[in-house]
Structure 1
Amino acid sequence: MIDFRYHLVSLIAVFLAVALGIVIGTTQLNGPLTDNLQGQVTALQDDKRSLEDQTQGLQTQLDDVGAFDEAVGPTLVENTLTGESVLLVVASPDLDAEVVEGVTALLGSAGATVTGTIRLTDSYADPASDGTVESYLTGAGVPATVTRPATEDVGELTASVLAQVLMVPGDGSPDAGIPPSTTDTSTVLAGLTELDVLSQDTSSVSPADLAVVLTAGTVAGGEDAARTADLVQLATALDAEGSGAVVAGDLASAGEGGLVEAVRSDRSAAAAVSTVDNVDTAAGRISTVLALAAERRGTSGEYGVGEDTQPVPPPAS
């Protein structure tokens, strides 16, 4: 009869055999496995270094192109906007200051005068502030020269009032070429600044012939879709009241939720307002200035690097 000690010895022998097999197998395979893994690691490290070199080379090429565009930009836009005045509207809080400075400098090279820069806050087109904004815009604080549209849409009302005090009436208007008074402009801007709807980046703002609305990324603040629609209304109102407007942003702004995309998706807005989707590059800033010149001639278009766009506006014929 087999007793318990026999079973115990048998089990121990089995476990010893298994352990010995694992040790022997590991010893035999350890060398090839280690060599194989080391070879893969080395190959991946080589690939990484190669990709880093390629990336650095491409970045160098991009920097060279950007430097070239920066160098030739003033020459390319020279005299394209001689005698024109331009208002800048910053519609995104995270817009790089370099973009505003670059566009301003290039407009100067084109012969234009920048009459000022205003910045829209997150309260612009925020439903939470609609009540106070509407009360102000329909009240006695707004100059009597301003004609308020018959609408219950606060975004449309705001866009119309701002356009009337910020833009010099364009061709086709009974008041073409006659700017609104700077007092009216200052009054409305002061009122909306008090309501934290906008602020001034420049010490003074006066009416202009043309407008550039600068944006970046997706629209944020308030209810995003409503804010985007209100910004499109503002751009089209500035365009309709003056001699033209351009909405210029980065490539992200040409994607879903971006202001450039919203203008391009609105058939009537796209027919009136030009868009640029690479204003964060020197080439895009050149396109923005040339697009303004085209707007002055009555031509609107979609420019940049996005789908179905032209690289730059066509030259004057």
Structure 2
Amino acid sequence: MINLRYHIVSVVAVFLALGIGLALGSTFVDSILVNELEDQVNEFKLDRDEAIQIKDQAVADQNSLLEDNELLRAEGLEQRQRHDEQLEDIRSSSIQEADAIRDQSEMDRVTNNLLLNSIENLMPRGRLEGTSWLMLAPTGVDRPAMSEIREVLTRSDGEYLGTLWIRPAMNFEDPETLAALAETFAVESNSVAVSEVTITHLAASLLVEDGVTNKEIESTNEVISQLSDLGLVRFDRYQSAVAIEELSNLANRIIFVNDPEHTDLHQGFIVPLIQEITDRRGYGFGAVIELEIGDATRGEVVDRIRDDSDLAKGWSTFDDIGSLEGRLGLLIGLSRLPVVGHYGELPTAEERFPR
């Protein structure tokens, strides 16, 4: 039979053990939970601090970028302002320089006109009186220069008959030109025969000798008209009262004008024509003028005459008429014909100005 006292003690022991176990278990669990929570809190604090640092760095970077942009904008405005100021200075300086150049040009023009008028008043009039002048030149030469030469002739009482312009089609190597000229002059269609007969007929048309009949004059005048109809020459009678039919009766002086851009025409047509005129009329019948063109090589026109011993005796040459002094030298040199001279700046010239 179970002892009650023993039974009660056992029950009390069980409950006591149960209470002690619960107490100890609860303390252990609470300790683990607390540690876990503390770890989470600490980790959260670290994450928060890192987020704050990232935010602060981002704010700092943004502020730095804004400062850089503001600095760049300020520098850009400053550079633009400097550029505008420099541009305005350049514009103002350019206007002042242009005004100064314009004023100087006007002063030079007035001075040159006064000098020219003074020289004309001092020089005897009529230096070219009794002479009749025909000019021949390629169509592409400088027209203002041609006008200045014409002024030299007319201001000195020379009779200006007109200008015979030589077109680029006057090329004896061109098949169409050869065929047209061969048919006109009834010769074989080869460059040698055609060039010889064309130059011979043209020279004859410009230099009708005294004592020829009216029929012969009409025949020679017809040559220029024929060449004009073929588009090879053009007669310009501006400031002249002479018709093309009257040229051969009046001209006693001829001026050939050319520039470095038309040396092919010079060698192939003009020089042979000069040689033919020299053979017919002898020395001192006219002049050859070379016009200057920018940086082009000078001398190819006049040196072809100066280097030929026969032509150098027959034709005066001028390589500088661009200046006032050069045009005055041209006038004096033309007035000295039939005495021949070679004038200008090139080494092949005999002297700068006629004396």
SS of the equivalent of 2:332 reads helix
Name the residue aligned to 2:65.
19
Is contact 1:82-1:112 (8 Å) kept? yes
For 1:161, the equivalent position in structure 2 comes to 201
1:274 to partner: Cα distance: 0.7
Structure ranking higher in helix proportion = 2
Q: How does 1:231-310 map to 2 (within 5 A)?
A: 231-233=269-271, 236-237=274-275, 240=278, 241-242=280-281, 243-248=284-289, 250-252=291-293, 255-256=296-297, 261-266=299-304, 267-268=307-308, 271=312, 272-278=315-321, 284-299=326-341, 301-303=342-344
Kept after mapping to 1: 8 A contact 2:167/2:231: yes
1:191 to 226, 237, 240: 226
Cα 1:33/1:228, change in 2 over 3 Å: same
Quick one: which of 192, 200, 215 aligns to 2:235? 200
What does residue 90 of structure 1 align with? 137
Deviation digits for residues 135-154 of structure 1 (CA, Å, limit 9, x no counterpart): 157538xxxxxxxxxx8175
TM-score if structure 1 supplies the norm length? Answer: 0.68
Counterpart residue number, 2:354? 314
Report the equivalent of 2:170.
124
TM-score, normalised by the number of residues in structure 2: 0.62
C-alpha distance after superposition, 1:167-200 (max 9, x if no partner): 367xxxxxxx778953243121122112211122
Paired residue for 2:109? Answer: 63
Residues 1:67 and 1:38: Cα distance change in structure 2 (over 3 Å): same
Match of residue 139 from structure 1: 186
Please give the alpha-carbon distance, in whole angstroms, between the structure 1 residues aligned to 2:56 and 2:89.
Answer: 48
Larger radius of gyration: 2
| Counterpart amino acid of residue 353 in structure 2 | P
- Give the AA of the match of 1:40: Q
Confirm or deny: 8 A CA contact 1:212 1:246 kept in the other structure.
yes
1:54 counterpart (93, 100, 104): 100
Q: Runs of 5+ in structure 1 lacking a partner?
A: 141-150, 170-176, 220-224
The one-letter code sitting in structure 1 at the alignment partner of 2:292 is L
Do the aligned residues in 2 keep the contact of 1:277 with 1:284 (CA within 8 Å)? yes
The higher-RCO structure (CA 8 Å, 6+ apart) is 1
The one-letter amino acid of 2:129's match is T
RMSD: 4.2
Deviation at 1:229, TM superposition (A): 1.8
- Structure 2 unaligned blocks of 5 or more: 1-45, 238-242
Go from structure 1 to structure 2 and tell me whether the alpha carbon gap of 1:46 and 1:188 turns closer, same or farther (over 3 Å shift). Answer: same
Structure 2 CA distance for partners of 1:54 and 1:168, relative to 1, 3 Å = farther
Matched letter for residue 268 of structure 1? D
3-state SS of paired residue (1:296): coil
